[in-house]
Amino acid sequence: MNDDEKKKAETEAETKAKSIITELKDAVKKGSSVADAFSELAKKYSEDERGYLGITGVTISSQISKEYGYPEGVLVRSVADNSGADDAGIVKNDIIKSVDGESVETFDSLREMLSYYKVGEEVEVVYCRLNDKGEYDENTVTVTLTAKS
């Protein structure tokens, strides 16, 4: 990781920490205890409540990345119509690298990450897309999570 990547990761971590602190303060102002507020933030949602990107995907491991030159992350195999990913412009063959500042290493880890978000919540998704020159461009979009279709 070079210096620019380290600075970006630190900034993303700081932003996420400030967001968590704001959510905790808001919950306490509304009458929740700090313990209840923490519990709500760490809540894993049921299949019916949790938000989905609306993709299927496969893992691009470090070995595959080195061998074939793909970025590491999750290769999007399909995008459901009218899903959050579809609405945000994510398409087949994009490679998802992170969600809300957390690196995505496997498709299973992506699914686990999203189990803490409910339908309607927004997440920042960083993904790579192959350009006309055969190089990958990094893009960032905000995705509103949808119900499982």
Secondary structure (DSSP) of 56-92 = EEEEE-HHHHHHH-PPSEEEEEEE-TTSHHHHHT--T
3-state secondary structure of 43: coil
Given a contact cutoff of 8 angstroms between Cβ atoms, the answer to whether 146 and 118 are in contact is no
* pLDDT tens digit at each of 149 positions of the chain: 577 766 666 666 666 666 666 666 666 677 766 666 555 555 677 888 899 999 999 999 999 999 999 999 999 999 999 999 999 999 999 999 999 999 999 999 999 999 889 999 999 999 999 999 999 999 999 999 999 87
Helix, coil or strand: residue 115: coil
Q: Which amino acid is located at 111 in the chain?
A: R
Q: How many CB atoms lie within 10 A of CB 92?
A: 12
Q: Alpha-carbon distance 149 to 137, whole Å?
A: 29
- For residue 75, which amino acid is it? L
Buried b (16+ CB within 10 A) or exposed e, 73-91: bbbbeebbeebbbbebebe
